Chains A and B, each alone.
Chain A
């Protein structure tokens, strides 16, 4: 049956059907999800096209306009050397989101690999791998991430070390889910049937295991992104993440801390609002997606 429906699907235009299905699904979205999707979409597009639409220079120094409050000329004011904060926050958002997406990808990769390793090998390998997972899971993400940053920053640079720090701290919950899912899949009749039908390991993995694991992996990825944004900005804010000259949101917040005493509240306010908006919109979308995929994951996927 799966072979004939597969042939049918490939004969149709899958792309068109998918977009049609997406459009239908969007009509059912509650208002909050629509708003979140819209805001996030606008933010991402604006951040990606920051230089293309409006030629905003985030490095132009204007010493006549040092620490100017928000105005029509500078929507978010200027910083301690007269750079336009709006341009800096847009660039910072792009840098932070890129690093966060890559870091979340790293975490999901580690989690999936460990879960597959434990779930397919079983026995002693499984026991050992899961004990190591327990050790990582019991660590505080932030503190353990700092240890990783200090150890690997000289070799990997700021951005690479942040990705590693997030990637090596945010994987245990996904690894457990993937392992559990694999273990239950192995016992299902359709898998036994496939094995009995002579399916190769590769075919088994691709046709039967992967489609069942994808929702958990995809959701873990989306849920990790806001965490990664927070970690990057927090590490950079403390001076342990990206080098100070790279305008990530965390580095701008560190500028903001220095300017507080001089009354420059806007430098601290706006980059934080960017983080908040990203976290809230992605969180709303992920939560809606999770409810539709698998209500049980609420407790297990607590990152």
Chain B
């Protein structure tokens, strides 16, 4: 287990290097001019001044030198300076916004897991009934419906028409930073973000449960006269949980991407909104920084999934250690 973790963590810098190389290559290939983005579209900045800015930021250096400096700085945790953060370092701004996103993604993940498990198991237990049909139809509907559209409709119904929940933002961004999560403002974005992923989980749990319920050990338990509820929860569910865990890692990336839309609709001051602001101001260092952070999270998420997989499945543990 320790070997697995250290080996995977050792690969992490290599993955980051690869992502950094690809993003660097893309910025070099693209005709995008960071100086123009910095001074703004309509400006009367002279060509000399632009050249000065380019020189000050090192844009006029040869490609290999720029690449070397970018990797060197990155290795020290310096991802450059951001335009939207008023010239402050990218890393600091990302760190200050992270807690709001962690609260949002963490809450959504918990909802996805709980909802997916409950509805997936129930749908499998009542397969072929109206309830099963309803769960599956809602799931198909959910995978096809754009999250931001559902978000807009929920915003209208629950905030504007019914007035149950605040329409967006958080009353005090610093409260989130300090760790005190503003639950009232978190509910809508959290639920909508969870809805983007819950259909996959529910359908997955349902189908795995149906497969396992056909297996011999379940039939045997039934033959012994064990109640259906105990069969479901003690004989089938633990087996269904195993593949379920691996999905969490891969879908974490989707949740992170989903925050951009959800945070924009509900004005939640996390990394998604920061990425959007950066995109609107053509703030490349910030977008690249967030992309790199997302890559790290995906690697860590997959590692976490693998570790959990080993803990809960003795077959995998014994096969590899």
Contacts and interface: CB of A to CB of B under 8 A. Distances in A.
A187 B19 CA distance: 34
Given A238-B260, A240-B279, A150 B287 contact: yes
- Residue of B32, B254, B256, B284 with most partner-chain A CB within 10 A: B32
B108 to A, nearest CB: 15
A140 B257 contact: yes
B223 interface: no
A138 B287 CA distance: 16
Interface stretch (B21-29, B99-107, B116-124, B212-220): B21-29
The A interface, classified by DSSP as helix, strand, loop or mixed, is: helix
A268 B254 CA distance: 24
B199 to A, nearest CB: 12
Contacts of B294: 139-140, 143
Given A140-B294, A147-B23, A275-B146, A253 B279 contact: no
Contacts, number: 130
B239 interface: no
B253 A279 contact: no
A146 B260 contact: yes
Contacts of A138: 15, 19, 253, 295, 298-299
A2 B156 CA distance: 63
B155 A260 contact: yes
B30 A253 contact: no
B83 to A, nearest CB: 11
| Chain B interface residue bracket vs A | 35 or more
A139 B19 contact: yes
A301 to B, nearest CB: 14
A132 B31 contact: no
Contacts of A261: 160
Interface in A258-303: 260-261, 263, 265, 268-269, 271-272, 275-276, 279-280, 283
Contact of A150 (B18, B279, B295): B279
B152 interface: yes
Nearest to A230: B146
Contacts of B94: none
Contact of A140 (B148, B265, B298): B298
| Chain A interface residue bracket vs B | 35 or more
Interface string B275-311: 1100110101001101100110011000000000000
Interface in A205-239: 226, 230, 233-234, 237-239
The B interface, classified by DSSP as helix, strand, loop or mixed, is: helix
A147 B291 contact: yes
B260 A272 contact: no
Contacts of B260: 142-143, 146, 238
A280 B144 contact: yes
Contacts of B150: 272
Nearest to A283: B144
Contacts of A152: 30-32
B261 A268 contact: no
B284 A144 contact: no
A40 interface: no
A135 to B, nearest CB: 5
Contact of A151 (B30, B253, B280): B30
Contacts of A92: none
A272 B152 contact: yes
B279 A146 contact: yes
B253 A140 contact: yes
Contacts of A148: 26
Interface string B20-45: 00110011001111000000000000
Contacts of A283: 140, 143-144
Contact of B291 (A144, A155, A269, A271): A144
Interface in B242-258: 253-254, 256-258
A98 interface: no
B81 interface: no
A276 B140 CA distance: 10
10 contacts: A136-B22, A138-B15, A140-B294, A146-B276, A151-B284, A152-B30, A265-B156, A275-B145, A279-B143, A279-B144
Interface of B: 15, 18-19, 22-23, 26-27, 30-33, 140-141, 143-146, 148-150, 152-153, 155-156, 160, 253-254, 256-258, 260-261, 264-265, 275-276, 279-280, 282, 284, 287-288, 290-291, 294-295, 298-299
The 4 nearest A-B residue pairs measured at CB? A272-B149, A142-B257, A279-B144, A151-B30
